[in-house]
Amino acid sequence: MAERSLIAVVDDDESVRESLPDLLREFGFAAQAFASAEAFLASSCVGEAHCLILDMCMPGMSGRELQRELVRRWHTVPIVFITAHGDEALRPRVLEQGAVECLFKPFSDTALLGAIRAALHLK
């Protein structure tokens, strides 16, 4: 059996941390959820994740700050940002800075799967 790609979810919203990993497992991925950027950085998942679904606005270190920290540490993991607090001007900026996608909550399962497939270079 082939190893399933590990998708890390970093979001301070408990309902997202509970529902997204279940959805990702239904899609056939392995999933791990974290309540903060700091918790993700302290985990072994940093070097193991194949894709990061990352909330942009969190207490403490924001999603964009985590993105910069990962670059600083030479960790190249594809990032799909999710946010409830964005406007359309935000999306081109985060894509320009290396994110694979930026989805605005609420987003569809189809949009999420498409973003993950793009991140993992799947068809």
Q: What is the pLDDT of residues 59-111, one digit of tens each?
A: 999 999 999 999 999 988 999 999 987 777 888 888 998 999 999 989 999 99
The pTM score is 0.93
The domain segmentation of the chain, as residue ranges, is 10-85+97-115
**Backbone dihedral region of 54: left (phi > 0), alpha (psi from -120 to 50 degrees) or beta?**
beta
H-type alpha helices, 1-123: 14-26, 37-41, 63-72, 90-96, 109-120
Per-residue confidence (pLDDT) for residue 8, from 0 to 100: 97
Q: Which CATH class is domain 10-85+97-115?
A: alpha beta
- Cβ 30 vs Cβ 7: under 8 Å: yes
Per-residue confidence (pLDDT) for residue 123, from 0 to 100: 56
Length of the chain: 123
Question: Positive or negative, the Cα torsion across 96, 102, 104, 110?
Answer: positive
Give the β-pairing of 51-55 and 30-34: unpaired
For the segment 16-61, what is each residue's pLDDT rounded down to a tens digit?
A: 999 999 999 999 999 999 999 999 999 999 999 999 999 999 999 9
Identity of residue 71 = V
Q: Residue 2: which pLDDT band, with cuts at 50, 70 and 90?
A: very low
